[in-house]
Amino acid sequence: MSAATSFVTGTGMGLLAGLTTCAALHTGLLAGLAGRPGGTTRLVASFLTGKLAAHTALGALLGGVGAAVQPGPLPRALLLAVAAVVLAVFALRLVRPRAPEHACPRPSRFGSPALVGAATVLVPCGITLSAELLAVASRSPWTGAAVMAGFVLGTAPATGVLGAGAALLRGLPARLLGVALLGVAAWTMLGALRLGGWLPDRAPASPAVDARFVATDASGVQTVTVHVLDGGYRPALLSARAGVTTVLTLVTRDTTGCTTAFTLPDRNVSRVLPKTGRTRVELGVPAPGRLRFVCAAGHYSGSVTFR
């Protein structure tokens, strides 16, 4: 994939992220910076500039070093958990009553907007992690930088509008926004727990092997097929035979959600899936047990139970 194509892809991912958890996280951060001198427009511009610089540099690093610096499922789960905690802290700041308008404003306890924007690289939302995996897969510093630069610019419209609005909110509207952001923080934490494997197992799959999704060819190789959708995986729960050579086939068709950043946490395997196509993941000869799969954001998951 060329740098130009990657930039466009990253921009599309950023536009999507700007309407989901990334927007919520950065809205909370910008609201926490409210009251700084210089005006809201300057605050948002400085925040986005720092964010763009840090993410572009990270993309170049990820693309240049490749899989050697690719974070595994556990570090990504921990990053999501940190993002959820940060968002909750800023949400609580909105919920609590502010000083009356006539009172002397208290100085902000946060760093400069540019530094706070740069620091967002340390608290990524789920779709940011998906973009980072795409930068890793590019194995090129230029392409990796293009992916992440496009991603940040894609998030800019929603971040700017929502963040500027949040910075101006007072009273009941600010508290209502804080409550909504607390809900998003809980949702992000749920994704982190799912990605890290810290949630109880879902109901086990039926012991029967479904011939529509599990087949064995003449050579004895078992193929397990999972369809990757924008809103999850179909089927999400499967059963297959243990003790035989197995290939997992992931089918995408105009799929653009975080599900395309596919992860097998127990095997520390991640794949960035094409928008449309079939991707093979060699599973070797699985022993009896359950193999989990989950998107990079931890929002959608499933498993194959080998019997």
Q: What is the pLDDT of residues 211-257, one digit of tens each?
A: 889 999 999 999 999 999 988 999 999 999 999 999 999 999 988 77
Q: What percent of the chain has pLDDT over 90?
A: 27
Coil, helix or strand at residue 18: coil
Each domain of the chain, given as residue ranges in start order, spans 3-196, 214-306
Q: What is the pTM of this model?
A: 0.73
Tell me what pLDDT residue 177 has.
Answer: 75
Given pLDDT bands bounded at 50, 70 and 90, which one contains residue 55? very high
Q: Which of 33-42, 142-151, 153-162, 216-225 has the highest mean pLDDT?
A: 216-225
Rounded Cα distance between 48 and 271, Å, is 29
Query: Could you tell me which of 301, 292, 238, 304 has the C-alpha nearest to residue 265?
Result: 292
User: Three-state DSSP class for 245?
Assistant: coil
- 244's tokens: 């035989």
**90 touches 32 (CB < 8 A):** yes
pLDDT at 166: 65
Q: Is 148 exposed, middle or buried (0-12, 13-18, 19+ CB in 10 A)?
A: buried
3-state secondary structure of 123: coil
What architecture (CATH level 2) is domain 214-306? Sandwich (2.60)
Structure tokens at 253: 């068709």
More confident residue, 114 or 129: 114
**Structure confidence at residue 240 (pLDDT):** 94
Highest mean pLDDT among 28-42, 58-72, 85-99, 216-230: 216-230
Torsion angles phi and psi, residue 109, rounded to 5: -95, 5
